[in-house]
Amino acid sequence: MIYGYARVSTDGQSLDAQRDTLKAAGCDRIFAEKMSGARSDRPALAKALAALGPGDVLMTTKIDRLARSTRDLLNSLHEITTTGAGFRSLGDPWCDTTTPHGKLLTTVLAGFAEFERTLIVARTSEGRARAKARGQHMGRPLKLSPFQRTEALARYDTGKETLSDIARSYGCSHTTIGRLLIARQARQAAGA
């Protein structure tokens, strides 16, 4: 049997074009859902994978409908092939595990993608380490200036204002002020 899987990310998008393409390609049954591909808990995909048996084929219009990352693609392909089924992407002819050439090309390209991802992670880590060595702040910009942080702690120490009152005056969350207190306690504990 040939099963189709169609997915769009948002409610504003339509599944009709994908369904039509999959029907025209000979799909006997189509599983469809409106859900982000970044989520791993996609119910329609789980049902499609559970329906697969030896000799069946799962088909999508494009590979990004099935997986958003190389790791996700490899995991999905592994799950499909363990059942004895194949996978075919209509928009990506190289991704067809129903043929020996397709299996080889899919494996090689997935390997290149994984290698590239490893290089990106390494370069990012090196860049982050260099930035930290230069004293550059990583992450989101700080909500409060150094003066405001010192002032907020001093105001809290008087005991006249709550965290929420202090935070409101700076236009931030009470958890921001709470983190200042925690950081100060950690500095004091390390110095003691």
The Cα 61–Cα 76 span in angstroms is: 16
Q: Name the CA radius of gyration of the chain, rounded.
A: 26
Q: Are residues 89 and 154 in the same domain?
A: no
Residue at 82 is within a domain = yes
Q: Are residues 103 and 17 in the same domain?
A: yes
Q: Which of 90, 112, 134 is the last residue of a domain?
A: 112
The pLDDT of residue 10 is 74
Residue that wins the pLDDT comparison between 63 and 184: 184
- As for how many domains the chain has, the answer is 2
The 10s digit of each residue's pLDDT in 56-87 is 999 999 888 888 777 788 788 888 888 999 99
The token pair that represents 125 in the structure block: 């880590």
Residue at 155 is within a domain = yes
Distance (Å) of CA 94 to CA 17, 27, 75, 114, 149? 22, 19, 18, 17, 56
Nearest to 182 by CA among 152, 139, 141: 152
State yes or no: is 164 an active-site residue.
Answer: no
The pLDDT of residue 12 is 67
Residue 93 confidence class, pLDDT cut points 50, 70, 90:
confident
The pLDDT of residue 171 is 94
HSE (CB half, 13 Å, CA atoms) of 134? 9
Q: Are residues 108 and 182 in the same domain?
A: no
Residue at 121 is within a domain = no
CA 110 remoteness from chain centre: 18
Full-model pTM: 0.56
The 10s digit of each residue's pLDDT in 7-54 is 888 766 788 899 999 999 999 999 998 877 677 778 899 999 999 999
Q: Which of 86, 112, 138 is the last residue of a domain?
A: 112
Q: Are residues 106 and 64 in the same domain?
A: yes
Residue at 125 is within a domain = no
Residue at 141 is within a domain = no
Q: Are residues 68 and 156 in the same domain?
A: no
Residue at 77 is within a domain = yes
The parent domain of residue 36 ranges over 2-112
- The CATH number of residue 14's host domain is 3.40.50.1390
Residue that wins the pLDDT comparison between 122 and 137: 122
The pLDDT of residue 3 is 95
The pLDDT of residue 100 is 86
The pLDDT of residue 55 is 92
The pLDDT of residue 121 is 86
Q: Are residues 158 and 106 in the same domain?
A: no
Q: Are residues 11 and 106 in the same domain?
A: yes
Q: Are residues 14 and 70 in the same domain?
A: yes
Q: What value does the mean pLDDT take over residues 154-162? A: 93
Catalytic residue among 9, 69, 169, 173: 9
Give me the percent of the chain exceeding a pLDDT of 90.
45
State the burial class of residue 56 (Cβ atoms within 10 Å of its Cβ: 0-12, 13-18, 19+).
middle
Q: Are residues 11 and 56 in the same domain?
A: yes
Residue at 118 is within a domain = no
pLDDT of 111 strictly over 70: yes
